[in-house]
Each structure stands twice: as structure tokens, then as C-alpha cells.
Amino acid sequence: MTKQEKLNKGILLPLMEEFYTIQGEGFHSGKAAYFIRVGGCDVGCHWCDVKESWDASLHPTTETDKIIANVIKYSKTVVITGGEPLEWNMDYLTSKLKEKNIKIHLETSGSSRLSGEWDWICLSPKKNKLPVNSIYQKAHELKIIIRSKNDFIFAEEQAKLVNLKCELFLQPEWSVREKIIPLMTDYVMNNPKWKISIQTHKYLNIP
């Protein structure tokens, strides 16, 4: 099997980094988890704090089995993030993690077709490349990054597309958080279906 065939099947993945830490955002904030950051992203948010993840060719193609072996040393929960992990076939990775009884969480913009088996899907849509339609109803959590007042309108548009049980979060874009947090606080108090997500890991100075 060629290298490209292995990438296509998810037997190899472009691994940017992996680490054991505390989930800092959203519904599972505060919980310990092993993070796998996969290289490659075609969304390209200008405020992204991991722009070095965008070019998959910069990150070593790594045997997925080796990644799984590292996960089981540390945690029963893993978070697959990026970049945009759904640019790659997640079927192999998640099936092998399931065999080890690992809880598997996905952080995605939803810009690519959903692959893999997930215990939790955090969908964070971006205006410049909207999610594929099929992922909305499968999301457990909707997380909208708020940079300006117009983003509240976008948040409501996206909330109409997810299932009724989906948890709704607004998160301030880090660089403008001091300006946005007061607006967000007022918004959530007036629209209590939403919750506030804060990047607590940045306050704690952890990965």
C-alpha cells in the first residue's frame, strides 16, 4: 500500500502535535483529555491561533496505531482537533479507539464530510466556509466564535440548523475578549438558550 493510500484510509495521519491536558473550552471544559491535533485546514480563519496547522505537508505523516498507543497511556477521553480533522478519513482512528473503550470527541468546522464514530461532536461553523449540511443534526455542541456584533446574527442562523438537544455556546475571540465579553454576557442573559465558553486553558497557561 502506498503512502497516499494509507493517508486516504487514515492509517497514516499528518500529526502536528499530541498532548495530555485539560479541555479548556465548551461543554467539557475542565475535564482531562488527550489531544490529537491533525495538520491541514482549508478554512483559514484570520484569527486562528494555530495557523501553523493549516499546511498538512509541514507535519510528519504518523502511523495512526502509534498515536492510539500514546492515547491509552494517558486518558480514557481523546479530543481530535486541528487544523480541520475531517479533511482526513477518521474511520480507522475512531474504530481502533472504540476497541480500547476510549471516549472520542471531535472539534470541527464541519467543512468536510463527516467520517468516524464519535461520542461528542463540537461543531464550530465559520462564515468563510460553512459546514456541510449533513453534520448539523449530528452535532452535540454548537460553538460560535464572537468577534463582533454581527456574529450574534450568524450564531442564531446556525442554531436553527442543529438538533434541539444540541448545546449552544458563544465564545469570545481571544484578541478582542475584553470588548466582547460584556456584550456576550448581556446577550446570554437575554437569550438564555446560549451559554458562554471561555478559553480557560489560556488563563491557566496550559496547552
Judge contact between 41 and 129, C-beta under 8 A: no
Single-letter residue type at 91 = D
What is the SS3 assignment for 144? Answer: strand
Q: What is the pTM of this model?
A: 0.96
Residue 188 has pLDDT above 90, yes or no: yes
Identify the helix (H) or strand (E) that includes residue 150. helix 150-159
Q: Please report the domains of the chain, with CATH numbers, ordered by start residue.
A: 3-204 (3.20.20.70)
Beta strands in 3-133 (DSSP E): 12-22, 32-38, 61-63, 77-81, 103-108, 120-123
Cα–Cα dist 53/159, whole Å: 28
Average pLDDT of span 4-20: 96
For 103-155, the pLDDT digits (tens) are 999 999 999 999 999 999 999 999 989 999 999 999 999 999 999 999 999 99
**DSSP letter, residue 140:** S
Q: Which amino acid is at 27?
A: F
Is residue 89 within 8 A of residue 10, CB to CB? The reply is yes
Locus of grid cell 497514516: 12
Instruction: With beta carbons less than 8 A apart as the criterion, state whether 143 and 197 touch.
Output: yes
Q: Grid coordinates representing 4?
A: 497516499
- Tell me: cis bond preceding 40? Omega within 30 of 0 counts: no
**Band (175; pLDDT cuts 50, 70, 90):** very high
Length of the chain: 207
